[in-house]
Structure 1
Amino acid sequence: MYPPSSWNPITPWAVATGTRGLCYESLFLYDPLTDEYTPWLAESGEWVSSNVYELKVRKGIKWSDGAMFTAD
């Protein structure tokens, strides 16, 4: 097995399978057995129009440098 060519979570197929979830947390967790999403870094989310999804970011979450995680 080779090391990942990139740790950039946005680049498709550049990260070894399974390592993305070990390094980065997501807004929602997906359960393939129930086909449901559970809020994680997001507190909630809803479609407000056909092309706009509005998220409420969970309070108290910080980046690795201690800066607050916000929608800004």
Structure 2
Amino acid sequence: MTDTLKKAIEQLQQMPEERQDSLARLVLHKIDQDRLWAQSTDAHAEKLGGLVDDILAADDRGECEPLIPNEM
């Protein structure tokens, strides 16, 4: 277990049980989302790589416009 995780758990242990449960559910949800994301990207790695190659090629050809967040 990392030092950061140990510190987080120590702080959680000082909270009321209801708050501990609430934050634990949030962490478990994020862990599940991370697992699903990893499975999805692993399953589609070749397709994602092809999309990246297509985008980089289009950018090299000058077909991509820069995104300016304040103007979106």
TM-score range, shorter chain: under 0.3
TM-score (norm 2): 0.22
* Greater fraction of residues in helix: 2
Q: Give the alignment's TM-score, normalised by structure 1.
A: 0.22
Higher RCO by CA contacts (8 Å cutoff, separation 6 or greater) = 1
Q: Is the strand fraction higher in 1 or 2?
A: 1
